[in-house]
Copies of this chain bind each other. A is one copy, B any other.
């Protein structure tokens, strides 16, 4: 998709930039998405542009939750679709999760452009267009979900999610996995499993852990889940960003 060699020292950063630009060109990345991308770049820079140990632990706990779930759903917004379309499809394939498009600023055009983009990257069933369910406690326009998608799921991965929605999903009693580079954000704070990492690294990392844990029995998966502590992980991430540790 690009001519950037993987050996380039700024490969990940250039790839990210390339995908975001493409996302704007095809109408799936919004103005707010570009600003959010910039915020992520700054936090990732301070984090050393690497997956810290607590984020890897979180990705492993997320994988175990996915494998234990009755129904897991990956929620996809404009930046997620632009940045990791193929990686989201691989994660869904590896764990049996559903994919649902869910936008803070929902328009029919963007919903469909995102669903198309995901299908081009191998997604078979893309939810989100039915919008026949609601998350309680949010404005009507912000609350829409598919009743048989995020509405009924027991485990939801919401990368780069708005704080209000992350809190409302958590209040529904769902196990919520959030990917967010700011450990102080309300989304990260609301999550059962906050992964403080770049989405470009975090999504494939959950998939890798899910493949490793594929043959684990329920007791082993529960042990992975129970050994993860969200508060400790957030503290470690804040330390890494603040002090470069």
- Chain A residues with a Cβ under 8 A of chain B: 20-21, 24, 31, 34-43, 45-46, 182, 184, 241-244
Contact = CB atoms under 8 A, between A and B. Distances in A.
A181 to B, nearest CB: 8
Contacts of A35: 20, 34-35, 37-38, 41
Nearest to A238: B244
* Residue from A37, A39, A45, A241 with most neighbouring chain B CB atoms (10 Å): A39
29 contacts: A20-B35, A21-B31, A24-B31, A34-B34, A34-B35, A34-B38, A35-B37, A35-B41, A36-B38, A37-B38, A38-B38, A38-B39, A38-B40, A38-B41, A38-B42, A39-B41, A39-B42, A40-B42, A41-B42, A42-B42, A42-B43, A45-B182, A45-B184, A46-B46, A46-B241, A46-B242, A242-B242, A242-B243, A243-B243
A13 to B, nearest CB: 11
Nearest to A184: B45
A218 B36 CA distance: 45
